[in-house]
A and B are shown apart, each in its own frame.
Chain A
């Protein structure tokens, strides 16, 4: 089902949502990220956010357990009914991909109380390659501006309820894919793990972790305990981890299973392209380009794969 909203009524529509719900949308502050807004004017539309939306569901240092007098009590992780607005197609697919893997109480509680509203991506840049990544529709509502009207694709009952007062579109339109200037030409790289070509990228890698922290589909985490002196009270917290760091694969006794920079770097690429796909039949990467955008030494693994497939 599709609904229609005149362009000039769009700010008013968002402001009416803000009155009823917590609305989280892209804001520039100074890096662009998803944040709670209190008016339509705060929304930043000009580019994809630098910080991905995942922090909404996987906040840093989230308390999972509270130890009270030696008893562990699981936290509920509940949030108020929240509308996550302004998600581009890649952002929505990233949430879908992480939804498959995360099913703890805290994550689910947040997901259950969040409505996903997508917005057509008008400004892809030279790093975006989402059209290479087999993206799907995954939204409660999706806004697409055509002429003087927003066409709103309704993806769920919850989404439908938010637009029930708007008129329905008589002849539904097809919402196109965003424009792309970059392409990933090959998703079958299983055979190429040992190729020398990866060494060039790994030599440039600072193992700074930026790619994984900014990737909307990276969901690896570490657990740390914050205990009181009596060892009876305290908290267990979840914080983001990164496979680009040596500590990630360190085990008791001090050995690290992915010691070399090369093996760590390749793990990122292979998890995104091959490993996830083996289980869920689609790549993990959604082609948002964030890892390429933030890399301080401008490593472009997409180009590396393209080079492999040409040779």
Chain B
């Protein structure tokens, strides 16, 4: 039998939710059939020192040691996969970028000021990332589909249409009509419109849709009566850095 590909699952500053997702029975059971999990420090001692074909990394870069960790993993891996919204976009930890840093640091860590923090950033800002599997937490089915694609030599295609497409196909009532801020029209789908299908607005956790029409979207929200602050609070939550980058110069809403 052909040798299984060697993979590792690692985390930097994250909540471990992505790694936990991998461990769900329906995901993990399938996964171990397909790949050889050499390292998974979250659940077993990390004694493997060799190379990986694919390394999955969860979490945001928040401290200087995170940079060391991911650089070392990059060297040992043929391909690096950013697993979850933290690794892909910075996610919740990156909200700090849009507020007064000092205030937040002293509020969260009144004692432990020996921490050498850096601006919370996605791992792609520090090392080369080959694949992105966003969502907070990532989708089990998508992780398995990704692995299947690797093993069968098919190209893994990221979902590029807005959340609204899946949401509408499910026949959900649109939450914008209820006056809520839903980021569905500017967010990449692939989650099956998970949040709106459960009566919760989309917070953009799968990151910006490349085709988003920001101008029209913000104009619509303002006409609905939402303030800049409300819009900013929503946008910065999961993929603020990525939305800001996508929108470019005109992104006034995410200034500190």
Contact = CB atoms under 8 A, between A and B. Distances in A.
Given A227-B152, A229-B152, A297 B216 contact: yes
Contacts of A240: 169
Interface in A130-163: none
Given A33-B171, A231-B152, A261 B213 contact: yes
Interface string A205-247: 1111110011000000000000101010000000110100111
B226 interface: no
Contact of B168 (A205, A294, A297): A294
A42 to B, nearest CB: 17
A229 B168 contact: no
Contact of A294 (B151, B174, B213, B217): B174
A206 B173 contact: no
A245 B211 contact: yes
B216 A205 contact: yes
Interface string B151-189: 110100000111011001101111011000000111000
Interface string B190-226: 0000000000000000000011110111011000000
Interface string A194-209: 0000000001111111
Interface string A15-58: 00000000000000011010000000000000000110001000
A203 B215 CA distance: 9
Given A227-B152, A246-B211, A296 B162 contact: no
A126 interface: no
B148 A210 contact: no
Contacts of A31: 171-173
Interface string A266-300: 00000000000000000000000000001011000
A60 interface: yes
Nearest to A35: B171
Nearest to B217: A206
B173 to A, nearest CB: 5
| Chain B CB within 10 A, most for which of A209, A231, A245 | A209
B211 A296 contact: no
A213 B216 contact: no
Nearest to B161: A245
B169 A208 contact: no
Given A207-B162, A208-B162, A296 B220 contact: yes
B68 interface: no
Nearest to B148: A229
Contact of B213 (A50, A205, A227): A205
A106 B93 CA distance: 49
A207 B211 contact: yes
B23 interface: no
B34 interface: yes
Contact of B165 (A205, A208, A296): A208
A209 to B, nearest CB: 5
Contact of A30 (B34, B160, B173, B186): B173
A51 B171 contact: yes
Contacts of B210: 246
A118 B185 CA distance: 35
Interface in A93-146: none
A209 B193 CA distance: 14
A207 B214 CA distance: 11
Interface of A: 30-31, 33, 50-51, 55, 60, 203-210, 213-214, 227, 229, 231, 239-240, 242, 245-247, 261, 294, 296-297
Interface of B: 34, 148, 151-152, 154, 160-162, 164-165, 168-169, 171-174, 176-177, 184-186, 210-213, 215-217, 219-220
21 contacts: A50-B171, A50-B173, A55-B171, A203-B215, A203-B216, A206-B212, A206-B216, A207-B162, A208-B162, A208-B165, A208-B168, A209-B161, A209-B162, A210-B164, A242-B161, A242-B165, A245-B165, A246-B211, A247-B160, A247-B161, A296-B220
Given A208-B165, A229-B152, A294-B174, 6 more contacts: A206-B216, A242-B165, A245-B162, A296-B174, A297-B216, A297-B219
9 A-B pairs with the lowest CB-CB distances in the bound complex, closest first: A208-B164, A213-B168, A206-B185, A51-B171, A209-B165, A208-B185, A245-B161, A31-B173, A210-B168
